[in-house]
Amino acid sequence: MVPPATSAPVAPSSTLDAQALARLRELDPDGRAGVVRRVLEAYQGSLRRGLEQLAALPPPSPEAVSALAHTLKSSSASVGALELAQVCSEVERRLKAGEHQGLERDIAHLLEHGKAALHAVATILQG
């Protein structure tokens, strides 16, 4: 289970970008193949595993956090979790540049925005 974030509140969006979702729907215009549902379910599972992995890192290494941020960046953008994708991009850039101060804050932001994205995906899948 993903623990609560310990950073200052940042009020991440609990919605997915409508244009990104529309692009996914274009792949299956009549919805018969269930592309949007399958993509969102795959993303949900991958994001959940990534956040659990991030929360369980026993001291977190900058390399592990950077790799996870990299993994989540594109998949988050493709489903419309743009705030999470942006946070992933910023964290990855900083860590690759050797800026390791604030690693715990970065982890907290990834967890917080990741949980908001999970909520947004779950809302769509339940609807």
Least confident span in 4-13, 27-36, 53-62: 4-13
pLDDT, residue 58, reads: 79
pLDDT band at 7 (very low <50, low <70, confident <90, very high): very low
Residue whose entry in the numeric block shows the structure tokens 């979702």: 21
How far apart CA 20 and CA 80 sit, in angstroms, is 5
Q: pTM of the prediction?
A: 0.86
Structure-model confidence comparison of residues 14 and 30, the more confident one: 30
pLDDT (0 to 100) of residue 79 = 96
In this prediction, residue 8 carries a pLDDT of: 40
Contact criterion met (CB below 8 Å) for 39 and 79: yes
Tokens of 116: 């908001």
Give the residue with greater pLDDT, 68 vs 13: 68
Query: Is the pLDDT at 1 greater than 50, yes or no?
Result: no
Among 38, 66, 30, 52, residue whose Cα is nearest residue 124 = 38
**Domain 18-126 belongs to what architecture?**
Up-down Bundle (1.20)
Asked if residue 68 lies in contact with residue 5, where contact means CB atoms within 8 angstroms, the answer is no
